[in-house]
Chain A
């Protein structure tokens, strides 16, 4: 008979029979938290062995999907004839909304996203019908044979049009603190400004894909590339009209997500499931890059305006800010995204008396969606616009103005209503900025980047260089961590220990390259004090950990790390109780260390029992070796009625200094050097964190420089492929790139090992590049004019900025001449 386990000869704890080679005692375990371990899939990535959904073996009867989309931005379908599509070679099924057995709306939060259009099309490319054929090429060719007649309706394509018509997907929301109108009226200087910040295509290298297989219970097994398996599960169940437990969703890894697979993966899974349900065959829906770019959501464009009052030192007395997001045709996640833009329209600066208004504009374009930063970056842009403009107005260096306006930087002459020196630490939505590291962080970065000396060198360079001009800027980031929708701040995990001491870990988070599986495994290694390679993390599955939140809002390791830790603590409680009984010592005399159970007897002598042996003993002693874990974020609340609360558990911080060179004859530019100092609390894995920071910075820089979404005036996306939409390439990385983690600053809140979230915050460090470009252009006016510069600041946009400054200088000159005359 096969033995279930190998019992050690001496059940009391021999060290002679390690199941596998064990390190000797005294050495710390390899791969616990704080170590720069390699990505858990690194070797699989480099050998091509890492399996993505499209790499899974196909069944002989596998069908492939293509979808027919609307040709118009806003139109009524008058007539639809799909007979040629149905008759095309290889086609096995064609569905319209009439073929949906269950719900037809798959909006994630609010309704508004039909799985297939019933009558009214609201953006170019919106799915109307879907085809399953033997090959992808056959499906694609069949789609082109559809005959659809439209009645074209009046369309709204821009934020400006939507604002004018009050054409919104959700009601406007406002934050108010103090009396901004009074502060503006009484301020020494009052400045106004406006900017248009365009959106961004995610350009995850792996496009959207779902592969589904009908099950014997009338349900569906779904393999997808999604940040939100639970939502995919729920929506697939709803469109099929089956209970949620009939659908299983599995996500092993994504080839990038960046928010683009939070809600946008679900339509593919739903459509594939509908076709699989109809045909009884496995169905794969993988979008071509073109379809992915046209049919799925992107970052929101924002139109921002500010009206700010400052004193003679450039310190803000009050501000009125408007942020208006281009939400596209449906609410999707836009309510929370525009909220986050509002929450971050102060960035790191104390606005004092403030009114912040956020509009959710409805346009006949594809519904904008989550993208790294989730509205925060667009909100921050208005704060940084203000800082540069104030600096030029009062004639100070922008860094000086930024520092004076930071939260927590007190000025003796600025008092509250009751005459006290203002602490300057309350945001416009009532959250107190605690554990504020930014003033100190900026000071360190200012020194390490040699900001002031370089400022002088740059001024000298610019004075002598005829058309090549340099620019320099330091911009900070204060980013609120937590889902602003409170219930999402929960997570579950599942940990098993097997009888050979190996550990299996599942949690609700998904792996999209950010190293979440690794970080959570390091947490488990830390808790059990075992080597990381004894822990196996497997796919995220809805039947392992249910009812999960999306892996989003930078919350992956905060939430899932804590949930996994909770599971470990539960198992450990049983293990320690057992060890205490088994070895006849008090519970505080046993501990886990270096892959061993260490038992200290009354004489102070230690007995080291290999972890695997101890686990076998515990199994024989009938101790549970498996547990779920759960976590919910404490302290957070937000009242939408009053616009006040504490939406964020804590803030993550960082700052970047970028130096650029601009060719003022062509508008071309290059980032010469970037220094970053970023705060991740006590890092779970410095290499992973630095990877997140560098990648986020470059992605943020791309958003503000070369990545330009272009729609034509019919509402068609023109930048619909990598040939026309340019994400940063290898040469765009700053030539000199210095990234450091802020040291010795554990998180002031009780997060997992006092670490901080890192996914999104460094994205906004890219704003330093935009500000440096403005600085370089401003130099042609000897820093007297704050150049207009919408984003992305393409070479064209920069040249326009140069020309605008020259025109303004010519006007000033003409005015001066006129005055002299």
Chain B
């Protein structure tokens, strides 16, 4: 292991350099900031992972769902008598058969003025609201039998007019999805700005654009999966769930199923990707839990890929009109923006479905010094699949709009796009800076990030190369995207709106009798490396080898309650809780040693699993011997106060709504104008996550995010037809990025630690997605600038490029 580690440290390509955080005392044995490979990887790649579907047993029954083939319809009659006779069938239920177990739920953020939402139930009651809406649940001994029987269920329907266009949805004569709400508008927010019209009228340069980002989805490779087990003898509900948020689910399940929280246990085993998908409550999953209680048998539900497309949350479906006014010297004078988000037929529970719109109106123009900002965002109900958070919520859309306008501005003004960004960044002496939209930014490193990016790219040489090649009929483009990244969220996101999602995290660290350390925490692991980061922090603070720390996450019976991982909070908030816990345990250990040996605690430290005398380094007692005294021979310990070798501490970020950080990306690509093909040549990212605990993990996580953003830019689109039918819900028609088309991505970091914590870490998980789509769109437009066309919609398909260039070819 150690050899491997050293090898990795020495030989890995493109290791980025991270600045030392002055807040943390480091010595040669420190782990914070080191590129340490994850322990779990060997287990996962060799096929020893345990995902929900890997848990098997003859007691487990399987549930599948009959889903609506229509976007909007009345259920006239259901007949499952024949299906019930199919071999292996255990039970077939409709909503009224399970309503006694699970209460209806409403996704409403009460602190968002004017937000409207209705209650929903796990299965449809008398109407269906989207293509894929679950109606009937079939339980059988095997999944194949359940699928066979489901085909024998017959439902008579009366089709209703579907609402599938977000603009028409808000017209007065539109059919209403929920007549009791009075309109199809879910939420609206406006930011007014007096006199902005005059500024636009008198500005030297105004650029304006209609942007479209297309509905797409997370596509975790492991589909949604749940195994629910109810033990009626002692009223215990144990749920093994492919979830990003076991603690949130703990509260949700207890609340919906009226079982005390102490009786509910959520276990997140290995989770095959989430990206915000497995952060929501799904009707089919709640049905599986209800069935486990009703049938007193463990019930497993594993979504197949086709139903995943129909029932997973979708995201990023926006139409944005925006304009930007510049002075002659390129300073932004004003931005006006109007965003329309197309959602599903219900608000997601418990997180609502409007957080994208919230972030977009917050973040458009946010990377720059914008003196005047007028904006509106609206969210329209649609007869389409559920809708909500996907990694980097709202950021990619806000970035696409802002950065698209910046490039249009640069072109109109004749200013280099990098230069235009530089002259408009928020001045370094104005932090903390309150944005016109509300959030306050603690501190950014935009100028440094841009300088670093241009250096990494060899920008001027690249421009020369681009120019030389253009003369040969090769069209290459460079696209920039500066982005903001919200992380370390406070309770402003949910708790203040009455939603029971923790903003606080807690951790327990325990010194074991053999001197090893056990750590658990309320953050969760689904591939990003949370467990490794936890182990690094514990090992670093407690002066032990990384290999002597074991971390267990994702089991609500083991971990203290807290906020889970989302919104780039795991390291920033959970990591700080772990850091505080480790410090407290260290203090306890030193206190015990000082009493055992009558030494001044201030002169003691821990190194290499020994309590040592600071300065001289003399070993006083090993952690193992100390623990053995505490556990097995407590009479040797002189104080009456019992020593604590198991410590729990908590942390919440309460200073800002979120800790906003920043970065910049650039894309270099080639467009073949004859066939509309795009070849990605290279991608660069400079990101600021404050103190980087583990650059190796951060960098590939950012790369993965970039690939998701490229997927949105070039391929991914859930295409609904005018009847509200999803027409491409499979992997042959819904394209995702594969290795061959993807570029190498070079990453570097700036380091601006947050002062709100001792650790100083900020988020990194959103960074890749936040800017990638915008960088690619801008690069395509740069490549095609000679044709004087502007693409303004993603995904940028070859067809869209050809369509834009058609006029040029005709002439």
Q: Do A and B bind each other?
A: no
Footprint of B on A, CB under 8 Å?
none
